[in-house]
Amino acid sequence: MNGMKVVSIVGMAGAGKSEVARLFREKGFITVRFGDITDDEVKKRGLKLNEENERPVRESLRKQYGMDAYAKLSLPRIDTALKRSDVVVDGLYSWEEYTFLKEHYGGDFILVAVWSSPEARYTRLGKRSIRTMTSQEAAGRDRAEIENLNKGGPIALADYTVLNDSSMADLKAQVEGIIDKLT
């Protein structure tokens, strides 16, 4: 490794992963979003971007490539970006993705969990302009991610945890504190 860091963001839907990734990007990190793989495949199939269409695509990609599919499929983008800058990966999901990236990047791989209460997450998801979800859809996605994707392990073993349950200023201060420690 060239000393560059790969920081991966993990959290449940609506926790604020993309906001945290944006804050890293503002500090010079290049963003690689795992969800872009899903979005590209949904569009390729001529479908609308929504949970109803995205979930079967995510499941079929994992069936085809394994539970670490998104890490494997994103590796070329991460490695290309690392030649220029530190990288923030928006949206690690599974234990297998975590172990794949940890084994590949070793000590240069940092995991940041973003936590927010289900009530706050469901409210945010209902107000989103893209990928809007009802509370029922969000609760279903939570169950699917915990039961089928082994998402709890990476959240539990994160190097840093950001609590996103108050203000944007508080979130920004927490993330900037992490960035200061890493750079």
Q: What is the pLDDT of residues 44-59, one digit of tens each?
A: 999 998 878 988 998 8
pTM, rounded to two decimals: 0.90
**Domains of the chain, each with CATH number or no CATH:** 6-182 (3.40.50.300)
Strand partners, 88: 7, 31
The two counts, helices (H) then strands (E), for the chain are 9, 5
Orientation of helix 35-44 relative to helix 51-65, angle to 10°: 110
Q: Are 13 and 141 in contact (CB under 8 A)?
A: yes
Burial of 44 (0-12, 13-18, 19+ CB in 10 A): exposed
The string of pLDDT tens digits covering residues 80-138 is: 999 999 999 998 989 999 999 999 999 999 999 999 999 999 999 999 887 788 899 89
Closest CA to 164 of 178, 183, 146: 178
